[in-house]
Amino acid sequence: MSGSGTEPRSDPYAVEAAAARAGLVRLITMGGGLTDTRWRAAFAEVPRHLFVPVYYVGVAGGYERRAADHPDPERRDEWLRGAYADSALATYVRHGELVSSSSQPSLMAEMLAALRVEDGDEVLEIGAGTGYNAALLAHRLGDERVTTVDLDEEITGPAREHLAAAGYRPLVVTGDGALGCPERAPFDRIMATCQLPSVPPAWVAQCRTGGLILTPLATGLVLLRVTGEGRAEGRFLSTPAYFVRLRSAAPEGESDTEAGPASEERAEVWAATAELPREALRDERFHFLRTLSAGTLDPRGAYELWRAKRRPHRSRFGVTVDGDRQWAWLDAPDGPHRWPLPARD
């Protein structure tokens, strides 16, 4: 199913981009993704390069700009190749800080598959970014069934333009993603493409019973099913995932460089972490456990649990949301290994 049927603008890169998209789809398919032909068609037809007319790649000392409007044809070719590489692209850098990006396509494909959308579903996306993921959803479900939210007009404005250029017109809302979009609720599916410390209660309230919420948490992706009013529960997917933080997630005034007891506590945590064996520090599974249990288990406690449970994979972990309480757990929601997640207003 395509979007609104709006005719996309003339595209001077249409032929080369179509070939590049076909190559990207082959790559993702060879890796085991895009088993659903409808998502395969979406990735084959939605032109990612129209959503990333400018992006940045990391270089020594900062970022290098790549753009469709570069005067050098070879640099324009480099830009187009990068647009269809299976990698995340930094798309908005402010004062040296990454604010928005376009996620790795194979990870996007895995997330969309995990969301298990059905014809007629209403979907809310938190983190509009470039608009590319919203376009994939609109291709599958239709424009009118997709809503995407981001905090700044500096992001949502270009996202609308990219979507229109590609022929899609889902609703793009400028607002705090942590609050969802109550005027369009209820939703059948909610997915976030930004990092959070916990699950905003507004999402659970705005998702129908039986609906699914997919969100990054710690260094993974947790898939929750809403089981009743204010309640949701589910496990982490097996894949690691790293996203730009939802900026409204940090309490006002919080800073990584603030002085006082908080910074002293962080220094103690880093010192304790540095004492751990290299086998733990190099293991991504330990990093996930350490991040998920931060504030409850010190690094040494996390390490002992990690060893005792034989280096548990992230799919053994889950999250329960019950009203104003939520916690992460290992193996079972009511088991002995549980950690409260930060409360939200």
Q: Identity (one letter) of the amino acid at 58?
A: G
Q: Please report where in the chains the tokens 């020594």 appear, as a residue.
A: 60
Edge-to-edge order in the sheet of strand 325-330: 171-174, 146-150, 123-126, 187-192, 207-217, 220-228, 231-236, 317-322, 325-330, 338-340
Q: Alpha-carbon distance 332 to 218, whole Å?
A: 18
Cβ neighbors of 306 (< 8 A, separation 6 or more) are 280, 283, 285, 286, 289, 312
Q: Mind giving me the DSSP string for 240-298?
A: -----B-GGGSPTT--TT--SHHHHHHHHHHHHHHTS-HHHHT-HHHHHHHHHTTTTS-
**Residue 288 · residue 296 · CB < 8 Å:** no
Q: Mind giving me the DSSP string for 28-43?
A: HHHTT---SHHHHHHH
- What are the CA-CA distances from residue 126 to residues 13, 179, 192, 311 (Å)? 30, 10, 4, 32
Which of 2, 4, 10, 100 is catalytic? The answer is 100
- List the one residue out of 112, 151, 144 whose CA is nearest residue 128: 151
Q: Verify whether residue 263 is a known catalytic residue.
A: no
Q: Alpha-carbon distance 101 to 91, whole Å?
A: 5
Which H helix or E strand runs over 75?
helix 73-83
List residues with catalytic annotation: 100
